[in-house]
Amino acid sequence: MGVTRVFNPIMKSKGKRHRKSKVKAAPSNAPTDPSRVQRDPELAEAMRQARWLHEHGDEYRQMLLRNIKERLPQLNELLVGAEDHWGMEDGIYRFYHQSFKVYRLQALTEQICKSLQELLPDRPLNKWFSEIVAQGTGHQFEMEHNENWLRHTRSIVEASFHAHYFLKMVCKYGKELETSPNSLPSGWAAVLYLFDLR
């Protein structure tokens, strides 16, 4: 009995070979093109920051913790004031009550930010945090703000939440830590990000 051959279009025809593309991907460990670094200021700045962190990170993390411990009484006093009835508690209520008194939260936010910056005066605060604070401070109430309350006041509340969070973490880990650990609790890791030390 004869063998019946079935045409299969998927099978390769004899004698024909498919050429592989000669384009090679750059190896993942290829060095950064120096001209690209010069052209891209963001990349150059990121590399500069990474180099600085590698050289000075440990020293600054220990300095930060030491400075927190030295200022802990004042920081705790500020935290108590922030968590007092007339601090965050009243401020958030005023937001939902649609009262112009929510604008008072800005002074608390600015006071907290000033105290945080004093912990490492030569280190800029994290740019996202700084942007949130800039958007949530410096506002004056005007009657027409009532027409679009969220647009005018939500940034004030958001900035106060972020400032309060960092103050709380600074006070917590200023009490709990003796040295800046390698295995980082989340709150301490966030504080390090506040000063771009991570």
The pLDDT of residue 11 is 47
- How many CB atoms are located within 10 Å of the residue 68 CB? 21
Domain ranges, residue 148: 42-194
In this prediction, residue 82 has a pLDDT band, given cuts at 50, 70 and 90, of very high
Which residue type occupies 103?
Answer: Y
Inside any domain, residue 107: yes
Does residue 87 fall inside a structural domain? yes
Q: Within a domain: residue 12?
A: no
**Residue 26, domain member (yes or no):** no
CA–CA gap between residue 120 and residue 67 (Å, rounded): 8
User: CA-to-CA distance for 194 and 127, rounded, in angstroms?
Assistant: 9
Q: What is the per-residue pLDDT across 156-190, written as a single tens digit (0 to 9) for each?
A: 999 999 999 999 999 999 999 998 888 889 999 99
Query: Is 14 domain-assigned?
Result: no
Q: Is residue 6 in a domain?
A: no
Give the ranges where 97-148 is alpha helix by DSSP (H). 105-117, 127-135
Please say if the pLDDT value at position 37 is more than 60: no
**65: its two tokens:** 């913790």
Total count of domains within the chain: 1
**51, pLDDT greater than 90:** no
Per-residue pLDDT of 100-132, as tens digits, reads 999 999 999 999 999 999 999 999 999 999 999
44 Rama sector, left if φ>0, alpha if ψ -120 to 50, beta otherwise: alpha
Q: Burial level of 184, CB count in 10 A (0-12/13-18/19+)? A: middle
Q: What is the pLDDT of residues 5-35, one digit of tens each?
A: 555 544 444 445 545 545 455 455 555 565 6
7, part of any domain: no
Distance between CA 89 and CA 102 in Å, rounded?
11
pLDDT for res 13: 46
* pTM of the predicted protein model: 0.75
H or E segment and range at residue 9: none
